[in-house]
Chains A and B, each alone.
Chain A
C-alpha cells in the first residue's frame, strides 16, 4: 500500500506547489507581499530488511522568502527618505518665493528688486525734492516694497499653516497605523494559537510588515518581535506605540508659548507628555518638524530682520530730516511692537513687548523670558542668558536692551514661574507698513538746519552746508586719563565733548545713541561707535563698551535755534544762540590753515577760509518749501551702507544671506533626496531579489509542478497496472 501512498504524497506536494505558485502569481503586485515557497522533505523511510525504502514526499511548511536584515534596512532608508522628501516638499515654495522670477539682464529676485526699487524712489525724490510726482514715486515704491515683504511673509505663514495641517494628518495616520498594528498582532496570536507549532501565518505577517513600513514613512520607529509573535513598536525617545494588542496614541496640541506652533503629545493614560521635536526623527513627521525648527522659524525671522533693520534705519535718518512744510520728519515706516507670548500656563497677566532700537545688533533668534521674582531673558539660538535679575520695576520703567531690541513690560504683573517667548522678528515682515501720515508733503528730504555766510562779510571765510549729528556718524571715545575721556565725531571732525568724567557703567549718549563703558580704562584706550556698532579700537580688555541703543528722538530741543558765529579777530570767534540769547562759546581759537569743525545744539558744520573781524556766519532752521535734498541723499545712501548684522552687510546683503540659507538647504536636500531615493531603490531591489515575485520563475515552477503531478499520476498508473497484473493471475 505504501506505493500508493507514495504516489499520493507526490500528487499532494505537486498540488501544493501549484497552489503556492498561483498564490505568488496572484500577489505579484500586492504591496508588502513576500513570495512563498513550499518546503518539501522526503517522508520517513520504511525500515526493511533490504534497507530503508522511501515513503514519498511531505510538505513541511510554506515559508516566506525574506531577509530580516534587508527588511530592517529598508524600513530605515524609507523613513529617512520620507523625512528628506517631506522637508524638501515644504522648502520648495520658500525657495521659489525667495527666488521669484528672474530676468536675464538683472538679478531680479523679487524682494531684492523691491528694495532696489524703493531706494530708486528715494533717489528720485532726492533728485527732484519739490516735484510732487517724484515724491509720490517714493511712497509708491515704499508701498511696493512693503507689499513684497508681506507677500514673502505670507508664503512663510502658508508654509507654517501647511506644516501644522500635515502634522495633524501625520499624527492621525500614525494613530491609525498603531491601531491596525495592534489588531494584526491580535489576529496573529489567534492564528498561531490554532496552528501546529512552527507554522506561521505568512500573509498576516506580510500585512503587519507593510503597515510597519507605512508607519515608518510617517515617523521613524523601531520594532521588536516578541516571543509570542507580536511586534512591539517604539518611537521618539523610546515611547511605546504598540505593544501586543494594545495601541497608544499621539495628539497634537498648541504650544504653550507659541500659538502658531503645534506640539506632538504622547497620551499615557490621563496625562499628555510633550515629545520634543528633536526626539522625533525620520518619516514625514520628522521632516516637517525639522523644516519648521531648522528652516521656517529662522528664515521667517531673517526676513523679519531685513524688514525691521531697513525700516528702523530708514526711520532714524528720516527723523533727522525736515519735510516740505518745515516740520521735523516723523517715522516713515510703522514697525509694530512685537508682543512676547505668555505661556498658556501663566498665572500672572504681564504683557511684554519688544521694539527695535538698533538695526545692526538684531539677530534672528527668539528669546525666552522667565519670571521668578525677577526676570531672566535667554536668547534661544545659543541658549545663553542675556539678562538676569531684572526687577519688574526696571522692565516696566527703563526696560532692558538686548541685541538691538528693547524689552518692555507693557502692562500687568507676572507671577513666579510665568514664562514668555518672544519672537521679535517673526511677524515684522508681515506687519510692516508705511506710516499713515506719510504723504508727498511729509517726506523729510531736507535737512533741518541751513547755514549761511552774512552777505556783508569782508573775509573769504565760508561755512559748510552743515548736518544734523547722526547716530550713523563715526564717533571716537578716547581716554586721556584713567577717569577722563574725550569724544570726537570723526565723520564731521567736530569735538563733541572733552574731559568727561568717567564712571564705570554710566550711560554715554551722543548723536542719538546711548552706550556705556565699564571696567578700568587706561590712558589711550579708545572706543568707537559707528552706525550703532560699538567696538574697542585700542587698549587691553580691562575696559569694555556695551552695545549701543539708538533713538534720535527727541532731537536736540535747540536744534533749530538761530545761531550766530561772530569772528572777534581773524583767529577767534564767538558763538551765540540768538533765539535764546545764550552764548554757546566765547573766544574759540580759529586756525585759517585747517578751518574749524563746530558742533552746537545737535548740528555740525565746518568753517574754512580767512574770515576777518566782525564777519559772521548764521546757522538756523531750514525754511519750508525748500528744494534742499541733503537728508534725501543720506536716506538714499542707506542702501549701500552696512547697517545689518554688526555693520557687516547691507539690507540686500541680509536678504541674500536669507536666500543663501534657504537655497543651500534646498540644494542639500535635493542632493540627499536623490541619494535617499537611490538608497531606497537599491535596498528595495535587494529586498525584492529575495522576496519579490518573478512571473517567469513562477511559470517555470508551474511547469515543474505540473510535470511532477503528471509523473506522479504516471507512477500511480504504473502501480495500478502492477496490482492489476497480479490480480489478473487466476490461480
Chain B
C-alpha cells in the first residue's frame, strides 16, 4: 500500500492524541479514586451506584432514627427506674405510717418525707429529652402532668405515641402516654378493690374495722359469667348480748348470678333472701354470721348458712378492728358499718394515692389512717406493677432497636462495599495501565520523530548529478 506523507503526520498525531486521552483518563481515575468519571463510562454500574446509594442513605437514616429512639428510650428507662425506686421507698414509708404508736410529730415528719417523694415522682413524670416530654404521648412539647391543687394532678398529654422509623417496615414508639403509666393503674389488688363504704354517703363507718385488700383464690369462679363482682359486707354490733357480738352479712349490691342462682341488689348471699338486720336472742341487732376480729371472711357458703345454693365467689377478704353499727341495741335503728368489694378499675392515680396518705397522716383519725395505709399499700403494689410493665415495654423496644441497629450497620457496610466495588478505581490495575500508556506514548512519539525524519530529499543533491 502506498503511504502518503500526509498520512504519516496525521496518523502520528492521532496516535499521540489517543494515548494522551487514555493517560488523562487513568490519571483522573487514580487521583479521584473513582473509576466511573462519567456515567457513560459504565452506565450499568452508574445506575447500580445510584440504587445502592439510595439504599445506603435510607439505611443510614434508619440508623440515625434508631439513635434518636435509643436516646429517648434510655431517658424513659432512667426516669421509670427512679420512679420504681421511689415507689419502693414510699412503700416502706407507708408501712411505717401504719405503726399505731406514731406520735403526731412523727406522723408529720413522715408526711413531709412522703411529700418529698411525691414531688420527685411528679418531676420524673415530666421528664424530657431534647425538649420533648417523654410521658406526654404525642404532645411532646406540652408538660404532661400539672398539679392544680395539692393531690390533683391533671394529665395534659394525649394517648398517642411519637414513633421512630428504624427500618423500612418497622416503627417503634419513643414516647409513652404517661396517663397509662401513672394514672390508669388498677386499684385494689388489681382484680377487685375493697373499701370502707358507709351506707349513708358523707358519713364514716363508726367502728374501727379495717378491710384488707383481699385476694383471689379461684379466678374462674370470680370471673364466672353472670358474676357482676359488686358486693358489700355489712356489720352490726349487738351489745345487748354480753359479751357483745359482732355479726355480718354478705350482700349483692347489684343484680348478679352465682352458681346459677340469680340475686337481686340487696339480697343476702348467706340467706338467699333480702338482707335485713335481724334480732338476736337477747334482742340486739344481728346478721347471719358471727365476726371474729382478724378473721378471714369466707366469701362462700359455710355450714349453717340458710342459703341452699353452694355459692362461692372465689375471693378472700380479711377484716381487722371492730366494726360496729349506729345502734347496738335496737335492730330497727341499727345502720351497719359497710365495706364494699368492687372490680378493680384503671383509675388509680399514683399522685392521688400518695396524696391521700399524706392527708391521712396529717389530719386523719387512726382508723382512717389504717384504712388508707391498707389501700395505699395495695395501690402502690399495683403502681409498681404498672411501672415495671412500662420498663419492660421500653426494654423490649430497646432490644428490638439494638437488633435492628446491628442489621442496619451490616447493611450499611454491605451497600458501601457494593458501591465501592462498582465505582472505585483498582489502584494497582490503574497504575499498571498508567505505566503502560506512558510507555506507549513515549514509543509513539519516538517512532513518529524517527519516521518523519526519513525523506529522500535528504539525499537528493541536484549539483551531484
Contact = CB atoms under 8 A, between A and B. Distances in A.
Interface of A: 28-29, 35, 91-92, 95-96, 98-99, 102-109, 112-113, 115-116, 119-120, 123, 126-131, 446, 450-453, 455-458, 465, 622-623, 625-630, 633, 636-637, 639-640, 650, 652-653, 655-657, 659-660, 662-667, 669-670, 681, 684-686, 688-697, 699-700, 702-703, 706-707, 710
Interface stretch (B38-46, B205-213, B302-310): B38-46
Contacts of A29: 6
A681 to B, nearest CB: 7
B449 interface: no
A652 B50 contact: yes
Contacts of B5: 28, 692-696
B40 A670 contact: yes
Contacts of A664: 40, 43
26 contacts: A92-B38, A107-B52, A107-B423, A113-B57, A116-B53, A120-B64, A127-B64, A127-B65, A128-B130, A130-B131, A450-B158, A452-B158, A456-B345, A627-B136, A630-B160, A652-B53, A660-B44, A660-B47, A662-B39, A663-B46, A667-B43, A685-B7, A693-B5, A694-B5, A699-B455, A699-B457
Contacts of B50: 107, 109, 112, 652, 655-656, 659
Nearest to B72: A127
Nearest to A627: B140
Nearest to B138: A628
Nearest to A33: B6
Nearest to B132: A627
A453 B3 contact: no
B445 interface: no
Interface stretch (B162-170, B232-240, B377-385, B403-411): B162-170
Nearest to B345: A458
Residue among B5, B50, B56, B132 having the largest count of chain A Cβ atoms under 10 Å: B50
A700 to B, nearest CB: 6
Contact of A660 (B46, B165, B171, B462): B46
Nearest to A703: B460
Given A108-B53, A127-B68, A688 B183 contact: no
Nearest to B133: A627
B3 A689 contact: yes
A653 B51 contact: yes
Given A108-B53, A109-B49, A663-B40, A131 B130 contact: yes
B34 interface: yes
B465 A626 contact: no
A126 B38 contact: no
A629 B163 contact: yes
Measured as residues with beta carbon below 8 angstroms from the partner, the interface class of chain B is 35 or more
B175 interface: yes
Interface string B423-442: 11000000000000000000
Interface string B3-40: 11111001100100000000000000000111011111
B1 A689 contact: yes
Contacts of A119: 57-58, 61
Contacts of A637: 165
A95 B419 contact: no
The 10 closest A-B pairs by CB, nearest first: A692-B4, A627-B140, A107-B53, A666-B40, A663-B39, A628-B138, A116-B57, A107-B49, A663-B43, A699-B456
B2 interface: yes
A689 B38 contact: no
Contact of A128 (B132, B179, B455): B132
A696 B451 CA distance: 12
A652 B345 contact: no
Given A130-B132, A656-B47, A685-B7, A694 B2 contact: yes
Contacts of A666: 38-40, 43
B343 interface: yes
A106 B53 contact: yes
A458 B58 contact: no
Interface in B144-169: 158-165, 168
A628 B137 CA distance: 8
Contacts of A681: 11, 14
B460 to A, nearest CB: 5
Given A102-B32, A127-B64, 16 more contacts: A35-B4, A109-B50, A112-B53, A112-B54, A113-B57, A119-B57, A119-B61, A626-B160, A628-B160, A633-B171, A640-B54, A689-B4, A692-B5, A694-B4, A699-B455, A703-B465
A663 B53 contact: no
Nearest to A31: B6
A208 B132 CA distance: 84
A111 B97 CA distance: 69
A679 to B, nearest CB: 13
A94 B170 CA distance: 39
Contacts of B56: 106-107
B457 A695 contact: yes
Nearest to A685: B7
A623 B139 contact: yes
A277 B53 CA distance: 39
Nearest to B2: A689
B40 A627 contact: no
Contacts of B165: 123, 126, 633, 636-637
A129 B32 CA distance: 39
Given A625-B139, A663-B46, A96 B38 contact: yes
B301 interface: no
A627 B138 contact: yes
A105 B132 contact: no
A664 B132 CA distance: 50
A619 to B, nearest CB: 11
A459 to B, nearest CB: 9
A86 to B, nearest CB: 16
B11 A130 contact: no
B296 interface: no
A446 B140 CA distance: 12
A113 B416 CA distance: 15
B184 interface: yes
Nearest to B161: A465
A636 B68 CA distance: 15
A689 to B, nearest CB: 4
Contacts of B312: none
B322 to A, nearest CB: 34
A329 to B, nearest CB: 16
A241 to B, nearest CB: 29
Interface string B452-465: 00111100101001
B415 to A, nearest CB: 9
B320 interface: no
A105 B138 contact: no
B162 A627 contact: yes
Given A104-B420, A120-B61, A684-B7, A626 B139 contact: yes
Contact of A706 (B47, B65, B160, B462): B462
B414 interface: no
Nearest to A639: B58
Contacts of A116: 53-54, 57-58
A91 to B, nearest CB: 8
**Most chain B CB neighbours (cut-off 10 Å) among A91, A120, A629:** A629
Contacts of A640: 54, 58, 168
A473 to B, nearest CB: 16
Nearest to A691: B4
B327 interface: no
B346 interface: yes
